Amino acid sequence: MNCASLFESGLGIGVVQANGLGVCRVHLPVSDGSYLREFGDVPSSALTQRVAEMLKLYFKGERQAFDDIPVDLSAVTPFRRRMLELIRAVPFGEVWTYGQVAKAAGVPGAARAVGGAMAANPIPVIIPCHRVVAGDGRLTGFSAPGGIASKEYLLRVEHVEFKGQRIFLKK
């Protein structure tokens, strides 16, 4: 059973998709109306409606706790799933580096592999890959619509402190 719910934000319309195991995809907002055409007739579920409302509030700057939302990561490799599950624990408004994630996962030196896992994240915001940055605080590698500008927008929604074009990393 695949269900979907649309949500509105200042950036446009986004979509939450779920199956019998949980949320399997979040499409970040776009302004072109394409999601209305693609998902407008797809039935919703209690889960997609709940998550869509949470995302709507998140994009308004309200802190949301997505930790109890069931997710389905069966489409990603076991290594990537492990990295995404680790990233899911990064708190609202906090930023980690790719190297910190690799070290926490017990694979120091695998920062590039962590980046590959973030790029394969099908559930952004719920799994907050936008909270992972380069070791020097630069915003890198965000494959969602809007790219790096979207990553910056999400971090600013969470009131992350910037130092010019870089994140202020706490030592």
Same domain, 157 and 115: yes
87 and 163 part of one domain: yes
Range of the domain at 48: 3-59
In a domain, 131, yes or no: yes
Q: pLDDT tens digit string along 84-125? A: 999 999 999 999 999 999 999 999 989 999 999 999 999 999
50 and 130 in one domain? no
Residue 70, domain member (yes or no): no
Please list the active-site residues: 129
Q: Are 87 and 160 members of one domain?
A: yes
Q: What is the pLDDT of residue 40?
A: 82
Q: Is the pLDDT confidence value at 1 over 70?
A: no
In degrees to the nearest 10, what's the CA dihedral of 153, 120, 90, 74?
Answer: 140
Is position 69 within any domain? no
Domain assignment present for residue 125? The answer is yes
94 and 49 fall within a common domain: no
Domain count for the chain, please give it.
2
Cβ–Cβ < 8 Å for 150, 138: no
pLDDT tens track for 136-167: 998 987 878 788 888 999 999 999 988 877 78
**For 116, how many CA atoms within 13 A lie in the half-sphere containing its CB?**
10
Closest C-alpha among 168, 170, 120 to residue 142: 120
Residues 37 and 94 in one domain: no
**90: domain CATH number?**
1.10.10.10
Asked if the structure places residue 66 within a domain, the reply is no
Whether 68 is covered by a domain: the verdict is no
For the stretch 54-80, pLDDT in tens is 999 999 999 999 999 999 999 999 999
41 domain residue, yes or no: yes
Does residue 99 belong to any structural domain of this protein?
Answer: yes
